[in-house]
Structure 1
Amino acid sequence: MVHALKKSLVTLKSILTGMKVTMRHLFQPSVTIRYPDVRDELPETARSKLYVNIDDCIGCKLCERACPVNCISIETVQATSDVDLGKTSTGNPKRFWVTNFEIDMAKCMYCDLCVPPCPTDCITMVPEYEYSEFDRNNLLFQFSELSPDKVEEVKEKLEKEQEEKQRQKEEAARKKEAEKNKSEDSPAETKSTEE
């Protein structure tokens, strides 16, 4: 009997506490935001949609490596020696063509781990939260501005340059080997003439 009475008192106390909170808010003005017309301002540190300023990307792939769910996919092609890709807004030289930069926001867990490693601060989280889609494929955001034709052209150009460098390297190695053989033959000839 005593136990049941104690339980009843605890129950009555919790009900009165809840009603006190309800009564306090009942007589205050409403703070409801009329959503489509009025939007709540997100705090500055809010984690939302990822955005990439591709002009500042140097293709280092640090954000791709930092992502724990592999939602970032980057492909790069090294620039040939005759091409100057310029510099980023932070002054870093660009040495790679960024041929593909995709972020799958359907996989993203909004951890913000990809933002701090970026040396040029090109990847950031923007306060945009209205990008829901019916099709998951629409959540795959592409940031690279190169056309498929340009990507092929860049890859072919790099391949030709690498082949040329390899050919020059082999030629230099053959010349060095020939000089080495020539120098080895020369002392033998001088010894035979001396005798």
Structure 2
Amino acid sequence: MPGGGAAGAGDERHAYQVRSQTDRFTGPVFSVVSEEVTMPGGNLAVRDYLRHVGAVGVVALDDEERVVLVHQYRHPVRRRLWELPAGLIDVVGEDLPAAAARELAEEADLTAGRIDLLVDLHTSPGCSNELIRIFLARDLAPVPARQRHQRRDEEAELQVHRIGLDEAVRMVLAGEITNAAAVAGLLAAARGRDAGWRSVRPVTVPVPR
């Protein structure tokens, strides 16, 4: 109902206040915290969640409307997943478009002449505050061989493929692509293309807080 949103917003000023916080684990990518939170009505509830450094992803689209996907092993799910070139926001002072360009170069050996903003995504808000910003990269060119990043660990076996955007969307809808950032980025890219790219935004748009 029309008035419900306003009343709810007012109620939230008095609810969901953090009364205490306990650090359970701290690592280089994420930490685990427990917080006592005031619920509507006044009850206290404990909420555990991952506090994440954040990430960027890139839908890299070439002149033939093929998207660059990587096939990479992910240990928690014990298998390879189709993903976008993506990575953590873990370089001090690096802005997000630069981080996206770095990940594109490191994982796909590509540079982009143009980068736009596609979509922002909370990957799993029930248990994590992770936000990934997904960019659209076009005007692709190869990184010179001598300047290419040396991949290690799981990335050493990372496979890079170019797949038609429509085929990638089919793979999403068929359950063959399940990585959340890839699903969101590919569907946003297909919608953006069909709308003549009117839906893309400048990379300077602030990140949702």
Q: What is the TM-score with the length of structure 1 in the denominator?
A: 0.26
The structure where strand makes up a greater share of residues is 2
The structure where helix makes up a greater share of residues is 1
- Larger radius of gyration between Structure 1 and Structure 2: 1
